[in-house]
Amino acid sequence: MSVATPSLLNELRDLVGRWSTSQRLIVVRSADLADSVEWVSTGALSPAHWLADVAQVEVCTAREWIRIGCRLRDLRASADAFDDGTLSYAKIRTLTRGRRPDEGPTKSIASANSAEVGGNSRAASRCTSRTSTSGIGCRRAMSFAWSG
């Protein structure tokens, strides 16, 4: 078994930082795709289907990226915290699911940031935001299905 060296640790920190940046870009651009018509000419059933095919992930994962990206449009403080690395994808994912009306964005971000990822999602879910009012494309991307 090999021991982690400072260079390995630094390399992994760098990789995780780039991965986090990529995750932020993926969710933002996924929402943009949902609001566009670019995916229609590909023959995909929905923007989520096209994303799933390209990224080789499940359609539900691609739908989640779209959902998060759409919600972040309405949640500027949360989007900023995601952009600057204050909040991780895992915390943003929970944070964008809904919030009690009496909790503002600052309290939401502070609560989510102190919650353990994977261990205490109830604490993070208490601090999510208002219902999205973003473009029709985002709502359509989440509910679109061919009847057959």
Tally Cβ neighbours within 10 Å of residue 131: 9
Dump pLDDT digits (tens) for 25-51.
Answer: 999 999 999 999 999 999 999 999 999
For the entire predicted model, the pTM comes to 0.69
Query: Model confidence at 53, in pLDDT bands (50, 70, 90)?
Result: very high
Residue of 65 and 117 predicted with greater confidence = 65
Predicted confidence at residue 2, as pLDDT, reads 73
Query: Could you tell me which of 145, 140, 146 has the C-alpha nearest to residue 35?
Result: 140
- Give the torsion through C-alpha atoms of 20, 22, 55, 39, to 10 deg: 140
Predicted confidence at residue 144, as pLDDT, reads 42
- Answer left, alpha or beta for residue 75, where phi above 0 means left and psi between -120 and 50 means alpha: beta
Percent of the chain surpassing pLDDT 70: 66
The encoded tokens of residue 10 equal 């630094």
Average confidence (pLDDT) over 122-126: 40
Task: Break the chain into its structural domains and give their ranges.
Answer: 11-142
Dump pLDDT digits (tens) for 59-88.
Answer: 999 999 999 999 999 999 999 999 999 999
Helix intervals (H) in the chain? 6-35, 47-55, 59-74, 76-83, 89-95, 105-114, 121-125, 136-143
> Mind giving me the DSSP string for 127-147?
B--PPP---HHHHHHHH----
